[in-house]
Amino acid sequence: MFLENLFSIKGKTALVTGGSRGIGEMIASGFCANGAKVYITARSKDTVLETAKIISNKYDSECIGIQSDISTLAGVKELSKIIGDSEDQLDILVNNAGAAWAAPLEDFPEVGWDKVMDLCVKSMFFLTQELLPLLSKPASSVDPSRIINIGSIDGINNPEFKNFSYSAAKSAVHHMTRVLASELVSRHINVNAIAPGPFPSKMLGSAVEFDYKELERKNPRGRIGTPEDIAGLAIFLSSRAGAYTIGEVITCDGGLVAAAGHDLS
């Protein structure tokens, strides 16, 4: 019942896709700060290697950067092989890599639909499939392996931006989480999802020109998310404390979903 046992992820090995920035970087940092070995991926080699170096040095930990494009099945298989060649087992998979596309309904392009669906949904499913042998190795009823899929409150509420494929994709992530949880619980692999609200990121920042004041005003908590908010939840789901939590889509949004429909002005 001690905190150091309940919430420990020390010695675990994790893979965080899209871990070079934003929410992925926050989760990877939280894992590394608490004794996990973490692989992070991104399409940009320079960026992912630099982020891995920064995290490793900051937390005196082992963070390994991998250049990877998992928007295609070939990329998924290549990443799986890299992890398999490096590790005998995997304790935690965080399916975080994603993309967004915003355009008016009348002008929304096919490329904006396919790009988002491929990265947010297809890659999540097939990377999970490819890594099942590694995830199964350390899994037990007391300490199951963990899969955390990063969804979004845009997959629950109607979105503020005209990101039609993103909302559909994140809703699919939430339901696929429940489907996979049902399938994998008997193999001692827990599957859950986190549905974040606004966090500082390149994706969100571009949409609001990196001025978060209006988003903070509209948020019941009065601010946007911090690294501690998202990393803390991911650590809970990955630790002994979260071993009995299965198939959940947990919002991490400062109360936006809970307060939907209420006037916060």
pLDDT at 206: 67
- What's residue 211's pLDDT? 84
Whether residue 257 lies inside any domain: the answer is no
Residue 241 belongs to some domain of the structure: yes
Residue 208: pLDDT band with limits 50, 70, 90: low
Asked if residue 43 is part of any domain, the answer here is yes
Q: Domain containing 70 — which CATH number? A: 3.40.50.720
Query: Using CA atoms, how far apart are residues 164 and 171, in angstroms rounded to an integer?
Result: 11
pLDDT digits (tens, 9 = 90+) for 88-113: 999 999 999 999 998 999 999 999 99
- Which pair of structure tokens corresponds to residue 150? 């990063």
The helix/strand/coil state of 31 is helix
166 catalytic residue (yes or no)? yes
- Of 87, 95, 77, the closest CA to residue 40 belongs to 95
Q: In which domain, by residue range, is 117 found?
A: 3-252
State mean pLDDT over 56-81: 97
Number of domains in the chain: 1
pLDDT number for residue 156: 96
Residue with tokens 């994790």: 14
For the chain, what percent of residues have pLDDT higher than 90?
88
CA atoms within 13 A on the CB side of 245: 19
At a CB cut-off of 8 Å and minimum separation 6, what does 133 contact?
84
Position 209 pLDDT exceeds 70: no
pLDDT of 201 higher than 90: no
The Cα 105–Cα 219 span in angstroms is 26
Query: Do residues 21 and 4 touch, judged by C-beta distance below 8 A?
Result: no
Confidence of residue 235 (pLDDT cuts 50, 70, 90): very high
Q: What is the pLDDT of residue 264?
A: 55
In a domain? residue 261: no
Which pair of tokens denotes residue 225?
A: 């998310």
Q: Are 31 and 5 in contact (CB under 8 A)?
A: no
pLDDT digits (tens, 9 = 90+) for 148-170: 999 999 999 988 888 899 999 99
pLDDT score of 77 more than 60:
yes
Residue 138 identity: P
**Which residues, at least 6 apart from 81, have a Cβ–Cβ distance to it below 8 Å?**
none
With 0-12 CB in 10 A as exposed, 13-18 as middle and 19+ as buried, what is 214? exposed
Residue from 59, 166, 212, 244 carrying the catalytic annotation: 166
Q: 183 lies in a domain?
A: yes
- The confidence score (pLDDT) of residue 262 equals 65
In a domain, residue 94? The reply is yes
Confidence band for 265, pLDDT divided at 50, 70 and 90: low
Q: State the pLDDT at residue 160.
A: 81
Asked, for residue 260, whether it belongs to a domain, the answer is no
pLDDT of residue 159: 85
Give 38's pLDDT tier (boundaries 50, 70, 90). very high
When the pLDDT of each residue in the chain is averaged and rounded to a whole number, the result is: 95
- Domain assignment present for residue 243? The answer is yes
> Which amino acid belongs to residue 6?
L
Name the band, by pLDDT with cuts 50, 70 and 90, for residue 53: very high
How do residues 110-152 score in pLDDT, each as one tens digit? 999 999 999 999 999 999 999 999 999 999 999 999 999 999 9
